[in-house]
Amino acid sequence: QSVLTQPPSASGTPGQRVTISCSGSSSNIGSNTVNWYQQFPGTAPKLLIYSNNQRPSGVPDRFSGSKSGTSASLAISGLQSEDEADYYCATWDDTLFGGGTKLTVL
Amino acid sequence: EVQLLESGGGLVQPGGSLRLSCAASGFTFSSYAMSWVRQAPGKGLEWVSAISDSGGNTYDADSVKGRFTISRDNSKNTLYLQMSSLRAEDTAVYYCAKRSQYSNNWYTDYWGQGTLVTVSS
């Protein structure tokens, strides 16, 4: 069980806005930035958000990140079927990962 | 195009050793810190080890400290993970990963496709 807590699952319908939370403590999220990764089954993770809210080039602006205190969130707006994947938060310079959230698009 | 190609995975008995390699291309390898991250079957991501761009500084997760050694050969653009005293719980896909920095905070911007290590008798 990870120190960073994510809901095991989340779901939404196409076009909807979905948020995935990542809860930590003052010693991890509270004092470090958060990164987010997307992983499809059988493939390597892909960087989605870095430094709380920075989007790498090529990542659609439907994806956004935020951090407040000891928690962080990933928001996906205009949900699409191809967004169905596992999502992981990470902090402490990517030495600490959340347990992951499986996003289902209904 | 950044490419990270892992090799060296396979089946090994408990207590055995294995060395993973990661051939990097498409970027100036010697300018970037690198890491290994693993994922047990059906489980989440777990950071294993990291190494600075020069190789002068290394960092290990408590779960592998004293058993795994990360190293690099910048002349060969290759990252290594020497694993010894392997246990069943080390069974996982091992990903080679490139690290980048933004405002003194690190993140992983590229991942290899992974190599499977299975520890079983």
Mean pLDDT taken over chain B: 97
Which residue of chain A is at minimal alpha-carbon distance from B106? A93
Query: In the prediction, which pLDDT does A2 show?
Result: 82
Retrieve residue A101's tokens.
């959230």
Provide, as residue numbers in chain A, all residues whose Cβ is less than 8 Å from the Cβ of B50: 93, 95
Q: What pLDDT, in 10s, does the model give residues A21-63? A: 999 999 999 999 999 999 999 999 999 999 999 999 999 999 9
- Judged by a CB distance cut-off of 8 A, whether residue A87 touches chain B is no
Query: In the prediction, which pLDDT does B102 show?
Result: 93
Question: In this model, does residue A3 exceed pLDDT 80?
Answer: yes
Q: What pLDDT, in 10s, does the model give residues B21-63? A: 999 999 999 999 999 999 999 999 999 999 999 999 999 999 9
CA dihedral of A32, B98, B93, B22, whole degrees rounded to 10: -150
Q: To the nearest whole percent, how much of chain B has pLDDT over 90?
A: 99
As a whole number of angstroms, the distance between CA B22 and CA B7 comes to 6
